Chain A
């Protein structure tokens, strides 16, 4: 949270000028885009008659009602305590969002029929590809970070070349290069290992920088103290530097994990049967693309939410220890 001042101003959403301005803006917006053809027009049938015939008056009435509802809603939310405010706004946005999808007239029976396969095949593949990749990427990142901080010319050159190259190419390109390029050298790799390799190398490059920053954030006094009691490099790193760097490293690494979960969709182009691949193919036969795309979108979102929760718990755990 930003550090709040002790002096409370008037709430923005209770300032008459702001409310009036908001009302005017919403009214103008809905007056111009004409909502008479939507569900709102239908609901106002008693007042405006047949929506299609209602003309300017119908537009005016619908826009008026919608903007009044909108402004009253906002002003009322303004009276709630902080936690309730957040919950109500979340729920309202979610409802708007879902009703937007609902208007696509999706076939839920089709979704229900495909969902088990999406989960057993798609979610599982996505999860294990991401998990293995993030694990390998972390190992690459530790080695890369140490190499980038070392005074060894070879190590630094190799590590910086690596990060520069793999951060500089689109991940999609790396997936293709590894899957199609390696066989040219005589190594035929399956789609899944190729995908994992591409993800690991790419994210390893990003995470190298995260780990480097984490290691650098530790005061040099810690190195000196550690050396002064006779620790060599490896002990210093394992017992003193990395444990303290972890709380710095974990939040951005969690971020990377969430990003990787979604970027793992790129390996669908080489035929790995993960979520994205299934989303594109399952609905193809019956032209029910939207059903699968929206379902998979929601699955990705839910998995990300789970990861966010896990991440915040880990952060809290480390926060407790370091605040001591």
Chain B
């Protein structure tokens, strides 16, 4: 088996009395594409937000590229620079141009010279198919374009793994496909990905493994074919019947 990128071992997390994650065990290998689905409030976002420590877990261990995440770490910035994250609401920096959004990380975190950062940014904007928007501000772009910029911003850091937190659920329906296409092409290029999404078509086409979560635990973990055609668990069946019925 290839190199382990993310490993979660018995991870639990509480918000006050409410347990958001229950004994999560998950291993992500290099080059793997994992889709996480489940009803809202099932802890999927919380889980991937723990992987770059936007959220803290209270029990268990998470290691990213062999480095243990804990609450006194100095190198958290280094981990985050290696773990790209795409948010539901894009969270682009509205006061910077598209190009600058992509250049900020490399320039200020990795100390890449401006000209080189711009070059990389343009190359990656090309890849997400919006080089012509480079000097506009995010507010001038459509939702789909903004989300592709957000993907580009993460890619510019040359991350080892990309986390997607419901990247299409805030988009108008006609813009979902352009973002999914970008993600699919990333997957084809061998990027390690963990995607929280309700796009079952994407899961079926791209995922190596599908993970179904409910009330904070991983209920089922299977290949897409297995998952969609022969779900084992009742909760999975119920969820699938709800998502797939239309």
Contact = CB atoms under 8 A, between A and B. Distances in A.
Interface of A: 219, 221-222, 224-232, 235, 239-240, 243-244, 321-324
Given A235-B109, A322-B94, A322-B95, A228 B54 contact: yes
Nearest to A219: B91
A244 B139 CA distance: 14
A274 to B, nearest CB: 38
B87 A221 contact: yes
7 contacts: A221-B91, A224-B87, A229-B109, A230-B78, A240-B93, A323-B139, A324-B139
A321 B100 CA distance: 15
A224 B91 CA distance: 8
Given A239-B104, A324-B139, A228 B77 contact: no
A230 B77 contact: yes
Nearest to B78: A230
Contacts of A228: 52, 54, 80, 83-85, 87, 154
Given A230-B78, A232-B77, A239-B104, 11 more contacts: A222-B91, A228-B52, A228-B80, A229-B80, A229-B84, A229-B104, A229-B157, A235-B108, A244-B93, A321-B137, A324-B137
B154 A229 contact: yes
B87 A229 contact: no
A14 B89 CA distance: 52
A227 B80 contact: yes
Contact of A244 (B84, B89, B94, B157): B94
Interface in B81-99: 81, 83-85, 87, 89, 91-95
B172 interface: no
Nearest to B163: A228
A311 to B, nearest CB: 20
Contacts of B209: none
A221 B89 contact: yes
Interface in B130-174: 136-137, 139-140, 150, 153-154, 157
A106 B77 CA distance: 70
Contacts of B54: 224, 227-228
A225 B93 contact: yes
B105 interface: yes
In the complex, the 5 A-B pairs of residues with the closest C-beta atoms, listed nearest first: A230-B81, A225-B91, A229-B105, A228-B85, A221-B91
Interface string B210-246: 0000000000000000000000000000000000000
Contacts of A229: 80-81, 84, 104-105, 109, 153-154, 157
A230 B87 contact: no
Contacts of B91: 219, 221-222, 224-225
B109 A231 contact: yes
A231 B110 CA distance: 10
Interface string B61-79: 0000000000000000110
A230 B78 CA distance: 6
Contacts of B109: 229-231, 235
A321 to B, nearest CB: 7
Contacts of B93: 222, 225-226, 240, 244
Nearest to B108: A235
Contacts of B92: 225
A227 B81 CA distance: 9
B80 A230 contact: yes
A291 B154 CA distance: 67
Contacts of B104: 229, 239
A239 B103 CA distance: 12
Given A227-B80, A229-B80, A229-B157, A244 B105 contact: no
A244 B95 contact: yes
A179 B166 CA distance: 60
A219 B81 CA distance: 21
A323 B140 CA distance: 9
Contacts of B137: 321, 324
B160 to A, nearest CB: 13
B89 A231 contact: no
B42 to A, nearest CB: 20
B108 A239 contact: yes
A121 B150 CA distance: 56
B77 to A, nearest CB: 5
Nearest to B93: A240
